[in-house]
Structure 1
Amino acid sequence: MPEIPSRRGLLLGTAALGAGAFLTACTSNEPKESSGSTDNQAAAADDKPGKKVTIGFAGPQADHGWLNAINVNARERAKKYSDVTLDITEGSNDTAAQIGQIDTLINKKVDVLVILPADGKSMTQAGLKAMRAGIPVVNLDRVFANPQAYRCWVGGDNYGMGLNAGHYIGELLKDKKDAKVVELSGPDNLELTKQRTQGFDDALKNYPNIKKVARQQAEFTVETGQAKMAQILQAQKSFDAMWNHDDDQGVGALRAIDQAGRDDFVMVGGAGALSAMEAIQADNSVLKATVLYPPTMAASAIDLARALGQGKGVSGLAEHEIPTSLTLYSAVVTKDNVKEYLPTGFK
């Protein structure tokens, strides 16, 4: 098995902690020195109780570890603030049902809405309706088709996720002649899958010695991960590294790898499940890294919604308003830095 590169060896690094950590700093109430030209501290949200804000939260059904972590992060963040009331829906993967839940929150006249739509494009009208009713919307992850449907978007970087996975593997194999890699993707009918694959392929263009020899699409489930990984292993008798788009399906992939008795390659996961981080920490399997798609974005969305409801910006920025978009960084978690990220791992 190739030697695992250090953090310094990565082209893009893994030091960034993402928007969750950024906004924790942004909402702190520690005094900052004024530059003498612009002092926005009076207009910035902080941890001190302020105007009471009711935040409506509408997301899809938590039928996946990552989606459940979204709900957990939202609830836990809201509990941090004595001035925030969180009105959270049950969640649904049925577009019509979720639109109905959003209508209910609009009729309740919540102060701000945080929406992770089951389908961003088909639910754009729900965001527009809220905005036209005077309720600002924080659009979480799956973006609405019309920017007028939200005040702020916060989410992950699918392209960057693939790019960082590709650079990690590229640095690992850069000195190996005729290196081979495989990819276990998510469903190809999802735009996020296409973006993750594109980022991965673009990164590998920097390493002419590496060739992708196989790609299978799974469905973000343990069962499909196991079945598709078994097919790859049967067809490819040897390769050097693989990238798996999702840690949930990665559980199945690892089962197939164990059953085949293979340990001749390095596996890189995706999303940041706790099980993946624990396996990386134990260092007793082919899984050596995972590229984050942080569910902490839901906590950041609550921070932003609270600031919106209180008519404030975020400290650390000169502007008196929150930004219109915030893209989280896809950090690469390895044995070297896994302790930093374990608290964010989802079950």
Structure 2
Amino acid sequence: MSVSTLPRRRRLLTGVATLAVSAVVLTGCTSNEPEPTGDTGGGTENAASSNDDTGETVTIGFSGPAADHGWLAAINSSAQAEAEKYEDIDFQTAEGTNDPSAQIAQVETFINNKVDAIVLLPTDGAALTDVAIKAMDAGIPVINVDREFSSPFAARTTILGDNYGMGVSAGTYACQLIEDNDIADPVIAEIAGIDSLPLTQDRSQGFKDALEACDQEVDNRVAAEFTVESGNEAAANLLQAEDKIDIIWNHDDDQGVGVKAAFDDAGRDEFFFIGGAGSKNAMQWIKDGEMEATVLYPPTQAADGIRLARLIAQDKGMSDLVQVEVPKRIVLNAPVVNADNVDQYFDLGFES
């Protein structure tokens, strides 16, 4: 059964909460002309003007990963683009790196430069914890993105994607496909990322738990390494092992380029193909009828981190909340994107 000929009776199962949710929340108001503060509390006043109004200039240091992966490249570029939207942000960015020692040195430079806030996607959360605490102790709020530190004292605010939620969204959507298409005894396959990573384990656990809710399980699971080459190899092995598959969930749309190539090389399209992360490639395949859906893991996390850093450094809060301070922890949604709503999300996709 070709993906393009399958019935389009779908529901968006995770709610259509867009990745711009934080963008909506963060455009409210509390303080128009905040008094500068050296503490890391953030947000003590309410007022009536927009938080997007130009305020006192704040210096924000950003350290992110080496851009050796489409999603990671989007993290860096979205942070830069967001900072450029604000006249009151002096943006200092360090060169992307996968070396914890180099990133520690970058954060220490930010501390020595007495920046007003630091947005940090750590190469290794545990390795960067001590220097993040050092920044916090110096009165510089740290906004932790995607990979958590090992101490609650290392960050003023943490903003995360939802890895477990990705799995739940993919599994719940798979259950709905089974029901909508009256698939008896479905064969469900999973192409994971790097198995040793907690994020991969969380995604797989969420998928498993969601499938259990409709009395299903994964019949064949293989793991790749978040690269095109590894995705191609893992998918080829999977297809050789299974003559017929009904649903495949691939964790990562970057490795999905290789996965899709393996499908095309084998001439196999009898299954519903679900991706993960939300690349433009995947969204175009959805538009072209070559892929069923993808589950988002927003590459806007660092951009949201920049907005939060600005609010905290200017002693503002989030006006759409009753609470006057920026929250301590924010977890972004993991919605399903399919043919029904792909146009809504397409511009948020990243280039693989």
Pairwise TM-score range, normalised by the shorter structure: over 0.9
Q: For the residues of structure 2 that align with 1:5 and 1:206, how far apart are their CA atoms? A: 22
Residue 212 in 1 paired to residue 218 in 2? yes
Moved more, 210-219 or 40-49: 40-49
* Structure 2: tracts of 5 or more residues without a match: 31-43
Please list, as runs of the form range in 1=range in 2, the aligned pairs for 1:1-347 lying within 5 A after superposition: 1=1, 3-4=6-7, 6-8=9-11, 10=12, 12-18=13-19, 20-28=20-28, 41-42=46-47, 46-174=51-179, 175-208=182-215, 210-283=216-289, 285=290, 287-347=291-351
Q: Classify 1:184/1:139 alpha carbon distance in 2 versus 1 (closer, same or farther; 3 Å).
A: same
Q: For the residues of structure 2 that align with 1:221 and 1:198, how far apart are their CA atoms? A: 22
Moved more, 241-250 or 119-128: 119-128
Contact residue 44 and residue 313 of structure 1 kept, 8 A: no
Deviation per residue, 1:180-239 (Å, 9 max, x gap): 10000000110000000000000000122x342111110000000000100000011111
Q: For the residues of structure 2 that align with 1:272 and 1:89, how far apart are their CA atoms? A: 26
Q: Which amino acid aligns with 1:256?
A: A
Q: Secondary structure at the match of 1:85?
A: strand
Q: Classify 1:45/1:326 alpha carbon distance in 2 versus 1 (closer, same or farther; 3 Å).
A: farther
Q: Classify 1:322/1:4 alpha carbon distance in 2 versus 1 (closer, same or farther; 3 Å).
A: farther
Contact residue 43 and residue 313 of structure 1 kept, 8 A: no
Q: For the residues of structure 2 that align with 1:130 and 1:311, how far apart are their CA atoms? A: 18
TM-score by length of 2: 0.91
Q: Give the superposition deviation at 1:166.
A: 0.4
Contact residue 117 and residue 140 of structure 2 kept, 8 A: yes
Deviation per residue, 1:256-291 (Å, 9 max, x gap): 0001011110110000001110110111x2x21000
Q: Secondary structure at the match of 1:131?
A: helix
Q: Secondary structure at the match of 2:47?
A: helix
Q: For the residues of structure 1 that align with 2:149 and 2:49, how far apart are their CA atoms? A: 27
Q: Classify 1:43/1:91 alpha carbon distance in 2 versus 1 (closer, same or farther; 3 Å).
A: farther
Q: Give the superposition deviation at 1:345.
A: 0.5
Q: Classify 1:275/1:14 alpha carbon distance in 2 versus 1 (closer, same or farther; 3 Å).
A: farther
TM-score by length of 1: 0.92
Q: Which amino acid aligns with 2:21?
A: A
Q: Secondary structure at the match of 2:56?
A: coil
Q: Secondary structure at the match of 1:164?
A: helix
Q: Give the superposition deviation at 1:7.
A: 4.4
Q: Give the superposition deviation at 1:89.
A: 0.6
Q: CA RMSD in A?
A: 1.8
Q: Give the superposition deviation at 1:40.
A: 6.1
Q: Give the superposition deviation at 1:298.
A: 1.4
Moved more, 314-323 or 193-202: 314-323
Q: For the residues of structure 1 that align with 2:124 and 2:49, how far apart are their CA atoms? A: 32
Q: Which amino acid aligns with 1:55?
A: I
Q: Classify 1:6/1:56 alpha carbon distance in 2 versus 1 (closer, same or farther; 3 Å).
A: farther
* Structure 1: tracts of 5 or more residues without a match: 31-38
Q: For the residues of structure 2 that align with 1:7 and 1:111, how far apart are their CA atoms? A: 47
Contact residue 44 and residue 320 of structure 1 kept, 8 A: no
